[in-house]
Amino acid sequence: SQQGEEDPQALSIQEGENATMNCSYKTSINNLQWYRQNSGRGLVHLILIRSNEREKHSGRLRVTLDTSKKSSSLLITASRAADTASYFCATDGRYGNKLVFGAGTILRVKS
Amino acid sequence: GAVVSQHPSRVICKSGTSVKIECRSLDFQATTMFWYRQFPKKSLMLMATSNEGSKATYEQGVEKDKFLINHASLTLSTLTVTSAHPEDSSFYICSAWTVGPRSTGELFFGEGSRLTVL
């Protein structure tokens, strides 16, 4: 079953703007990860945040985690057309033995 | 980063035939691989966890006899869709994660296999 729920389902912005995607989950986690998928391709890992971390940065990416609200957000700053893709959060669940993916956000960055 | 190779990338078959999809970890050993299924514009649905040298663990609702998984070596897992029907048409993606002291906890994905059953 899918644990994570993401919003928005689709997001369209202009190049240079920031994009924020949110993810909520239901059970306890060890870590939460964000992945990117270009259309018809496999997934690429973006960033992992552990349950004892609140914020993490990687280049233009900023991820926050609020375990009390069971939610996370992914911020992409200064977006580029090449950022157009689907973005998924994934949680490892209570036992950390598999990843369950959220519904995903389809991001379109217009140039 | 670690590389996972999936083959074939696209396959078209007739209804009733069986199709095998291979997933290989190219530069690391993967005791555990995961098979996901993805419908158009939808998320990934975990089908099963493939364990080297033992039986796969299937998620609820996934037919074991329909989706046969074999993990015969530390670098290869195969998914066989048996007696395929049009409703089995989908995008199948395998993944693996590295284990041990250098493990980062991230999953490495194959490029996916698009199955079309006529």
DSSP result, B48-72: EEEETTS--EEPTT--TTTEEEEEE
Distance CA(A106)–CA(A100), nearest Å, equals 18
Split at pLDDT 50, 70, 90, the class of B29 is confident
- Three-state DSSP at A90 gives strand
Instruction: Give the closest-approach CA distance of A54 to chain B in angstroms.
Output: 18
Using a CB-CB cut-off of 8 Å, the residues of chain B touching A1 are: 60
Check pLDDT > 60 for residue B102: no
| pLDDT (0 to 100) of residue A28 | 87
- Out of A14-28, A49-63, A92-106, B9-23, pick the least confident: A92-106
Percent of chain B with pLDDT over 70: 92
**Burial status of residue B21 (CB atoms within 10 A of its CB: 0-12, 13-18, 19 or more):** buried
pLDDT digits (tens, 9 = 90+) for A25-37: 988 888 899 999 9
Q: Where are the extended beta strands (E) located within B1-118?
A: 4-7, 10-13, 19-25, 32-38, 44-51, 57-58, 67-73, 76-81, 90-97, 107-109, 113-117
Residue among A42, A45, A103 minimizing CB distance to B110: A42
pLDDT digits (tens, 9 = 90+) for B50-74: 988 889 999 999 999 999 999 988 8
| pLDDT (0 to 100) of residue A94 | 59
